[in-house]
Amino acid sequence: MGRMDGQVAVVTGAGSGIGLATATAFAREGCRVALVGRRPEPLQAAAYALGEHCVALPADVSDAEAVARVVDEVVVRWGRVDVLVNNAGLNVVQRSTEAVSAQDWATVLDVNLTGTFLVTRAVLPTMRAQGCGTVLNVSSYAGWRAMALTGPAYSAAKAGVNSFTESLNLTERRHGIRACAVCPGEVATPIMDRRPVPPSAEARAAMLQPEDLAQTLLFLATLPQRVSIELLTITPTVQRDWSKEL
């Protein structure tokens, strides 16, 4: 028997990186998984590979109507939502304060922060009716301690995710719902290619890997419902010098 038998999870940003690794880890533990993301092709390939209990539901998390349709489809299909993993996120190449455009600033906040809010809001009625639920928000170490490497828009968005997580616990714990903001340091995912100076293969090998975060999220999702961890930081053991990449 798997640790998530009979449970239903919605994982955003599930086409690659942390989201795909998490969907895979959950499915291997018997969970039914809705894979959400903007690109249909990788989502459908992943859902096919993971088996009949996984479904690809393409959507932009910053689109409230699209998010509502996705969650409605999950509830119609499986009748519940036990775990939400808000993992969808992005950054822009020109990210310093003097270089980031107003449009890019808005885009980063729309996906990383507003998207987290919209998907969470959509699943809350179902979780409240169940009397339980787990919301796992993939934040960033940059949301806990601002970093020049990630830029102000990304840091501000992820700090907002941390605050939103705290607010969720304040308002939803009486419904049996818990939330955790997971704040990883550098993770070797495709978002690294969007940095002004992409890290080398050697540097990426020393970073956290997507499967490390997947196992962390699986741990959080399978804790007894009475346990709530509000914020968790996770970093590579070796802290590399990235000053030349600024």
Asked about 48 being catalytic, the answer comes back as no
CA angle 17, 183, 225 (to 5 degrees): 95
* Cα(222)–Cα(184) distance, integer angstroms: 19
* Cα(184)–Cα(213) distance, integer angstroms: 8
Place of tokens 């996770």: 234
CA angle 185, 155, 195 (to 5 degrees): 65
Distances (CA, A) of 54 to 18, 35, 36: 17, 7, 11
Q: Which residue is catalytic, options 154, 164, 189, 217?
A: 154
Distances (CA, A) of 211 to 93, 146, 152: 25, 25, 27
Q: Which residues are catalytic?
A: 154
